[in-house]
Amino acid sequence: MKASLAIQRGQPDATSRVDTFTVEFEPGQSVLDGLRAVRRDHDPSLAFRFSCINANACKECMMLIDGEVDYACTARLKEGMTTLAPLPKKALIRDLVTEIAPPDERLDRTRRRK
């Protein structure tokens, strides 16, 4: 079986584009499995987050999947086209990666230790 992923890509302050990739899959595989296949087999520069091994970092793979906010690790791949985009209303870092840390927990790179 094959699935196509239409992935919104880009960086802050740049025009975004949509790249489409086709991957092999078996029923039951997740969208995250598809993204990992894209990065492995087609484009190693694709940026997305996941941290399934670290239970404290859950929510890392949240993105827009077919227009709905969902987790890439639990959403299932399907035959045909799936559209993926970064979370809305979050600062874009690159491709599907957005700022997820609350403002008061972000590292302030402008502060220097004395």
Q: Which two tokens stand for residue 79?
A: 């035959």
Domain count, the chain: 1
pLDDT at 62: 93
CATH number at residue 87: 3.10.20.30
The dihedral built from the CA positions of residue 43, 95, 59 and 65, taken in this order, carries a sign that is negative
Q: Show the domain range for 8.
A: 2-105
pLDDT at 100: 78
Closest CA to 30 of 64, 79, 73: 73
- Provide the residue type at 77 as one letter: L
Which region, left, alpha or beta, applies to residue 49 given φ > 0 means left and ψ of -120 to 50 means alpha?
beta
- Report if residue 90 sits inside a domain: yes
- Report if residue 110 sits inside a domain: no
pLDDT along the chain (114 residues), means of 10: 96 93 96 97 96 70 96 94 95 93 57 48
- Report if residue 83 sits inside a domain: yes
Predicted TM-score (pTM) of this structure: 0.84
Closest CA to 61 of 25, 34, 79, 24: 34
- Report if residue 111 sits inside a domain: no
- Report if residue 45 sits inside a domain: yes
- Report if residue 49 sits inside a domain: yes
Q: Which two tokens stand for residue 111?
A: 């502060």
Collapsing DSSP to helix, strand or coil, 32 comes out as helix
- Report if residue 113 sits inside a domain: no
- Report if residue 114 sits inside a domain: no
pLDDT at 55: 58
